[in-house]
Structure 1
Amino acid sequence: MPPTVPPRPTAPLERLKRLHPRVIDLSLDRLRRLLDRLDNPERRLAPVLHVAGTNGKGSTVATLRAIAEAAGHRVHVYTSPHLVRFNERIRLSGTLIDDAHLNDLIDEVETVNNGAEITFFEVTTAVAMLAFARVPADLTILEVGLGGRLDATNVVDRPAACCITPVSFDHQDYLGTTIEAIAAEKAGILKKGVPAVIGPQLEAARATIAATAREVGAPLHVYGEDWHCAPVEGDGFRFDDRDGHLSLPAPTVQGLHQIANAGMAVATLRAQSAVPVSEAAIRAGLGWVRWPARLQPIENTPLNRHLPEQARLWLDGGHNPAAATVIRAFLQGFDPVEEPVTLIVGMMQGKDLAGFLGPLIPQAARAIAVPIPGQEKSCPPGDVAAAISDAGLQGSMARDVISALEIIRSEAKPDTRPVVLIIGSLYLAGRVLEDAGLLPE
């Protein structure tokens, strides 16, 4: 039986959503003031690995954690957003924070803040820092929420290493409208003397990040120059850096792009000197990696009952053009006649519909637009369906994911093995996981 999904957010979390009139307001001043009042827990963390970028952050963080834990280290992890429940964002020495502990910390931080202006993400980052400072660990992994330079996680003065995954267009309203501007914001996490591991980048992003690293004095470890990774024949990949080469198993998460994400994790751990990590731990950790809603197969759940028995269901939270490019490579592995692909698409307003759908539509036999439940800024399905049609495939709509699955079942041909991919938003992915009874652990 799938695990029971716990109730939706607790009362303290709902309170926090009303703390500030703006959803996003990039600044470090408010959080620094609050952390000062909390006796600066960010200065008492176990060595920090700081991860920024547009695509691959979450998978890289998951791989870092898996390898570090395989090496026997206790690891704190802070990520965002969550998929089903907030507790997923704060992992204390290997275990998700429990509700009672979380609520107590929120109450403590609210009391210290004493009604001063603050954002939801700033308060929850302070909560994470306080929790991490009080529970022993060997390593702390912080995933940037938005951008880097002014992101709340960028209050750590000297991490053990920084990592920047591929940079592409997303959140242009806050980060800038050019790759150079966005890359400059991401590079704002780099620090003097701290190893800077740079993943595969567009040339404009790579040049901007490298210039920032030279300006602040961060030693560079650049993909394609200082380290390399590539798949090898069979099931694995080769990793090379200044210290030699490793022949490694492919990570357990799906998609060829995950080799680059795994490479970034390996390069970061080999660049830092705060905790020892052996080749054996790297190999073991790659076999343990779990990261929900990234080309995740959905099997033996209540949702599968709404599809033909032979159908396969997948879920991915990708929502920008760069994510679509890697998802396209995955879809190209299916036979369009025997394994027709149906996309179920739900997206948030403000996303690049044409840029996201353009690489995917040629790989699909059909696409169905759905709303994202509980999200006021969910893009109307009519707009998504129109974008699907503009991309070259007649778009249709359904009132929800289950209705879309029922449509696929009713129209499936008996001599095919339908492939269904639900895509377009991490918010949609979270609701799908909840409906499937798959609770991220």
Structure 2
Amino acid sequence: MTDGSDAFFAEWDRRGPSARRSVERAGLLVRALDAGTAGTPVLTVVGSKGKGTAATYASAALAAAGYRVVTVTSPALRRERERIRVDGAAISDTDLARLGERIRDATRRLPERRSGAGYLSPSGLFTIAGVLHARAVGADVIVLEAGMGGVSDEVSLFAPDVVAMTEVFAEHVGVLGDSPAEIAANKAGVTAATTSAVVSLPQSPPVTEAIATTVAARTHDRVKPEVIGPSGLPEAVLPAAYGRRNAELGCAAAERLLDAVGRPQPSPDRLHRVLSSVRLPGRLSWHRLPGTTILIDSAIDRSGAATALAEAYARWGGVDHVLVCLPDHKDVAGVIAELADLPVTYVRLPEYRHLRFTHPLPPHWTVMDDTQLTRERLASLGERIVGLGTVYFTARLLDLLNAETEHLFEA
């Protein structure tokens, strides 16, 4: 690492082949750092997809109310410091280096990690660092996006005042649970005894029941999950397609948090102004190279690919080429079916050795490693290109295109 983030990846880089993250070890680190939230309200976003959108819009709505908001999301768009933001703006290299030193020093004081034992995960360490930074800058509220799971994620170390749940589906089966309902119970498990509200997008009946049962147990029947419908916000201040629901969820969660702490809601004019400034790079975002326009979306299943193609056809009437990067645990088969006979290049990410790219592919697809992808290669694929896949890949495209990712909204 050359950006000061090496401390966040130290144990992950040394993990064994079967080792898993250790939330318990992360809890020891929180105590070593005295990194509690100390009365600062916390809004936590969990779910299978769309968490970043919900967290960004919740943060924007809270900033519109006059709050100073620290937001932690995962993974980064282009630079690791983008995982921690203040009022939508990424922290500086200096801030990241300072936080990394605190993480490194505190980790040295922990019991030595035995071979094969659980490790401190990068996303968990950025969560802890974000809470530390919130204290340093005097944040009024903290918005945390779960990396994976809920009770099994480091966000569970910080009791949320409000929980927002995006759609839950069968992702990470066998890791978080053996069914969407079990996965939902894990994610809803982030709810604490002090949580005042849990807001959710509509879910399947088994998932709805699992969320309700988990929340009831965590809050001693004090809190009932609230399903969020259309917000009534103008379409112009919300993202396109499926992102709209997640944005509305984030805004609803922010509204519940303001109610919980007795803070006035922002005026409609100010709320609309701030929401109108939100940018979501890598989520149905449009970018240009000379002679080429590129639609980038972090679609990981067939429905996401279909949505992105629909947006492309609506603007262009056709697509010249599609870049796809999906590891084996994503819906590779569904995306293959959706792309049908379109010209496709499948991109692998050899740097991420925890991801496997072995799914059988159509014979007409081109296959390449991301190191072979250049601006010139991208432009040679046509005038109308769609880039789809895991956030690690969309981040690679955004970096290649030098996309603006420093500021997600203007408060």
TM-score scaled to structure 2, two decimals?
Answer: 0.84
- Name the CA distance, whole Å, in 1 between partners of 2:85 and 2:19: 24
| Count of residue correspondences | 388
- Shift in Å at residue 19 of structure 1? 5.6
Question: Could you tell me which residue of structure 1 aligns to residue 361 of structure 2?
Answer: 387
Q: Distance in 2 between matches of 1:327 and 1:172?
A: 25
Moved more, 29-38 or 145-154: 29-38
Aligned to 2:143: 141
Residues 249, 286 of structure 1: 8 Å contact kept: no
Q: Is the Cα contact below 8 Å between 1:163 and 1:196 reproduced in 2?
A: yes
Q: 1:261 aligns with which of 246, 249, 262?
A: 246
Q: Deviations over 1:100-130 (max 9, x none)?
A: 2222222223222325334133333322222
Give, in angstroms, the shift of residue 321 of structure 1. Answer: 4.4
- Which structure has more relative contact order (CA 8 Å, sep 6+)? It is 2
Question: 2:409 maps to what in 1?
Answer: none
**How has the CA–CA distance of structure 1 residues 120 and 103 changed in structure 2, closer, same or farther, with 3 Å as cutoff?**
farther
Find 2:349's aligned residue among 372, 380, 386. 372
Structure 2 counterpart of 1:180, one-letter code: A
Give the Cα–Cα distance (whole angstroms) in 2 for the partners of residues 59 and 148 of structure 1.
Answer: 17
Which consecutive unaligned segments of at least 5 residues does structure 2 have?
114-118, 407-411
Q: The residue matched to 2:182 in structure 1 has which SS?
A: helix
Secondary structure of 2:101's match? helix
**Match in the other structure for 2:381:** 408
1:200 to 2:189 alignment:
no
Which structure 1 segments of 5+ residues have no match? Answer: 1-5, 230-238, 240-245, 410-417
Tell me if the contact between 1:170 and 1:320 (Cα under 8 Å) persists in the aligned partners: no
Aligned-partner Cα distance in 2 for 1:176–1:69: 36
The aligned residue for residue 361 of structure 1 is 339
| 8 A contact 1:344–1:401 mirrored in 2 | no
Query: Are residues 1:249 and 2:235 paired?
Result: yes
Q: 2:175 matched to which residue of 1?
A: 174
In 1: Cα distance, 2:18 partner to 2:148 partner: 12
Q: Is the 8 A contact 1:316 1:429 kept in 2?
A: yes
Three-state SS of the structure 2 residue aligned to 1:295 is strand
| 3-state SS in 2 of match to 1:438 | coil
Aligned pair partner of 1:296 in 285, 297, 305? 285
Tell me: CA distance 1:267–1:345, structure 2 relative to 1, closer, same or farther (3 Å). Answer: same
> Is contact 1:63-1:285 (8 Å) kept?
no
* Matched letter for residue 250 of structure 1: A
Q: Is 1:342 matched up with 2:321? A: yes
Are 1:185 and 2:186 an aligned pair? yes
Across the aligned residues of Structure 1 and Structure 2, the Cα RMSD in angstroms comes to 2.8
Do the aligned residues in 2 keep the contact of 1:315 with 1:421 (CA within 8 Å)?
A: yes
Deviations 1:354-412 (A, max 9, x none): 13433x314x63222122363335555xx56x4345xxxx4233553347535523xxx
Cα separation, 2, equivalents of 1:295 and 1:34: 37
Question: 2:86 and 2:18 mapped to 1: Cα distance?
Answer: 26
Q: 1:282 to 1:315 in 2, by over 3 A?
A: same
Alignment map for 1:42-191 (pairs within 5 Å): 42-44=36-38, 46-113=40-107, 114-116=109-111, 117=113, 118-121=119-122, 122-157=124-159, 159-191=160-192
Number of the residue aligned with 1:317: 298
In structure 1, C-alpha distance between the alignment counterparts of 2:69 and 2:133, rounded to whole Å: 13
Distance 1:355 1:177, change over 3 A: farther
Task: State the 1:153 CA deviation.
Answer: 0.9
Shift in Å at residue 344 of structure 1? 0.8
3-state secondary structure, aligned to 1:333: helix
In structure 2, do the counterparts of structure 1 residues 369 and 294 end up closer, same or farther at CA, with 3 Å as the change threshold? same
Note the alpha carbon deviations across 1:62-106, whole angstroms, 9 max, x for none. Answer: 111122222222100011111221101111355422222222222
Q: Return the TM-score normalized by structure 1.
A: 0.79
User: Would the aligned equivalents of 1:341 and 1:366 in 2 still touch at CA under 8 Å?
Assistant: yes
> Take 2:354 and 2:270, find their aligned partners in 1: how far apart are those partners?
43
Q: Name whichever of 187-196 and 397-406 sits farther off.
A: 397-406
Change (3 A) 1:404 1:361: farther
Shift of 1:276: 2.8
How many angstroms does 1:30 deviate by? 1.2
- The percentage of aligned residue pairs carrying the same residue is 23
